[in-house]
Amino acid sequence: MSGFDIDKARANFPSLKSGFIFGDNAGGSQAAQGVIDRIVDYLSNTNVQLGADYSVSVESTRRAMVEAPAEVAKLFNASPDEIVFSHSSTMNLENVARALEHDIQPGDEFIVTTEHEANAGPWKKLAARRGAVVKVWKASPTREDNPYSLSLKTAELLPLITDKTRIVAFTATSNILGSVVPVREVVAALRADAEAKGARKVEVSVDCVAYAPHRLIDVRGWDVDFAVFSFYKVYGPHISALYIRAATLEASMQPLVHHFLKLDHTAYKIQPGGPGYELAYATTGAVDYLLSLTPARDLNKTFEAIAAHEQTLVQPLLEFLTAPAQRERGVRVVGEETAGLTRVPTISFVVVGQRPIRSRDVVRVFDEKGGIGIRYGHFYAYSLVNELSPKVDIDDGVVRISLVHYNTVEEVNRIIEILKEVFAA
């Protein structure tokens, strides 16, 4: 593919030298060498408490509190003061909900989706604490011949909005369905509708965990208040980065930190305690890796190249899973069936019909053959999988094959060959 050197990309990941095919990247990607190097460097040379005047502490503080948010802000199109770290995206959004609690009134309405619980659970719990009402924007079928081919539709969101709407929380990309939601268009439509209906204040939270490995976030262009992703799914360490709009931080959120800390002007006001500082610093290695993928060190061009390469992975796998022979066998893709830039290579399916195959049994064949890691389950999108119709066993869930830009067409072909054996059984 023009503009993308797969060999150069793969050379940055020491784990790929084993030959193992990592097909569970939506659960956790591999870490780039620059990330690993920074963790070692930080722990070897600057592993001291932050905020002191001596030279090693000054350098440690610069790395974790200045360089890390400045670099990570590039992945959001945000200001460094709008970035905060925590152990996971779930924890980051729990902190957001706690910081907003004083500003939520009984009868306020929250709209959530049935995607990953990280961006639904905190709002549902906050609603229960404050007497707010939860509404659900559900994905609905896009094809008559496959009831599992679902997507979120703006036309089904707008009727849920009223003058009491306070929070709208949805995903930029589903970790089950794999479809890219047009965030800018959705937010513009919902804000216009909420204003027309007289809503007092609407804040928008976007889960970018399954989006960030594949597309570049643009919180300013999107006009959102909160956005979050986990670096351990974006070639980095096990830490999450959260964006909070500066105006929202000022107007809506109370601090969660110790009362004597003066951090009101930064997102750190909602970070009780420190993250793993070696991990925060290591995120700069993930950003540097992404910048290195194009000669211009331009993130827009990097993600354009990633998206184009990933289509070479999406297309053959989707074409195989949706071919007439597989459809007759009972294979049904859960999510969008067609390739294209509105689809990332996170592909889920079930096998139903007269000769169904449990998802765990599909994965078991891969486990027995060895050398490839894929997975089955609900992947924390419990409500989405539990509400699939015709119903699937929630404990068995779906088979998910999740690829990223360091995967190759040869690896996809190997996965397809094993699936052929499974479906022929």
The answer to whether residue 332 sits within a structural domain is yes
Enter the DSSP assignment of 165.
E
- Nearest Cα residue to 25 out of 208, 229, 235: 235
The answer to whether residue 276 sits within a structural domain is yes
Same-domain pairing of 270 and 339: no
Same-domain pairing of 348 and 368: yes
Same-domain pairing of 318 and 413: yes
CATH of the domain at 336: 3.90.1150.10
The parent domain of residue 231 ranges over: 43-290
Q: For residue 286, how many C-alpha atoms fall within 13 Å in the half-sphere facing its CB?
A: 29
What's the token pair of residue 138? 């559900």
> What is the CA angle 52-54-57, rounded to 5?
55
CATH of the domain at 275: 3.40.640.10
The answer to whether residue 1 sits within a structural domain is no
The answer to whether residue 35 sits within a structural domain is no
The answer to whether residue 167 sits within a structural domain is yes
Same-domain pairing of 236 and 338: no
Same-domain pairing of 102 and 73: yes
Same-domain pairing of 10 and 102: no
Give the pLDDT of residue 1.
41
Q: For residue 282, give the 3-state DSSP assignment.
A: helix
The pLDDT tens digits along the chain (425 residues) read 456 899 999 999 999 999 999 999 999 999 999 999 999 999 999 999 999 999 999 999 999 999 999 999 999 999 999 999 999 999 999 999 999 999 999 999 999 999 999 999 999 999 999 999 999 999 999 999 999 999 999 999 999 999 999 999 999 999 999 999 999 999 999 999 999 999 999 999 999 999 999 999 999 999 999 999 999 999 999 999 999 999 999 999 999 998 888 777 789 899 898 899 999 999 999 999 999 999 999 999 999 999 999 999 999 999 999 999 999 999 999 999 999 999 999 999 999 999 999 999 999 999 999 999 999 999 999 999 999 999 999 999 999 999 999 999 999 999 999 999 999 98
> What is the CA angle 153-343-360, rounded to 5?
100
**Does an H or E element contain 125, and which?**
helix 121-130
Give the DSSP per-residue string, 363-383.
HHHHHHH-SEE-EEE-TT-HH
- For residue 202, what are the CA distances in angstroms to 109, 118, 219, 249? 10, 20, 16, 14
Last residue of a domain, one of 257, 290, 323: 290
Same-domain pairing of 189 and 112: yes
Last residue of a domain, one of 248, 264, 290: 290
Q: How many domains does the chain have?
A: 2
Same-domain pairing of 414 and 307: yes
Same-domain pairing of 227 and 363: no
Give the pLDDT of residue 424.
95
Last residue of a domain, one of 290, 315, 344: 290
Query: What's the burial of 336, exposed, middle or buried (CB within 10 Å: 0-12/13-18/19+)?
Result: buried
Same-domain pairing of 130 and 16: no
Same-domain pairing of 253 and 305: no
The answer to whether residue 186 sits within a structural domain is yes
The answer to whether residue 104 sits within a structural domain is yes
- Nearest Cα residue to 100 out of 16, 193, 225: 225
Same-domain pairing of 328 and 401: yes
The answer to whether residue 38 sits within a structural domain is no
Place of tokens 């049994």: 361
